[in-house]
């Protein structure tokens, strides 16, 4: 009985380790200089302007979309999975 308990504990620990490693993985960002390049890279996703310094992204139509020196065009899915949040500023 003691061996069965040790085996199940080991199995549970391995399961938790594998699940924890998977959950911490983020999709790497692929930044682009132009909106057209980004749209070709992710045709099924929305292109956003990511401000690296502030850690937020702006949707097209937003006042700060495509502006700033610390930003780049990226796919919205990649920005979200990497922990960036959307801007709370409204659209124009």
Token pair, residue 22, equals: 């998977």
Boundaries of every domain in the chain? 26-86
Q: How many Cα atoms occupy the beta-carbon half-sphere of 7 within 13 Å?
A: 4
DSSP H or E run through 39 = helix 35-41
Task: Give mean pLDDT, residues 55-78.
Answer: 93
pLDDT score at 17: 45
pLDDT score at 92: 56
The more confidently predicted of residues 91 and 64 is: 64
- Read off the pTM: 0.68
Token pair, residue 18, equals: 């594998």
* Each residue's pLDDT tens digit, 8-57: 444 434 433 444 444 455 668 899 999 999 999 999 999 999 999 999 99
């Amino acid at each position: 009985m003691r061996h069965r308990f040790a085996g199940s504990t080991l199995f549970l620990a391995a399961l938790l380790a594998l699940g924890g490693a998977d959950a911490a993985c983020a999709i790497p960002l692929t930044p682009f200089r132009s909106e057209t390049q980004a749209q070709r890279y992710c045709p099924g996703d929305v292109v956003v302007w990511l401000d690296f310094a502030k850690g937020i992204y702006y949707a097209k139509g937003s006042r700060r979309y495509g502006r700033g020196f610390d930003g780049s065009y990226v796919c919205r899915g990649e920005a979200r999975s990497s922990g960036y949040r959307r801007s709370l500023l409204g659209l124009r």
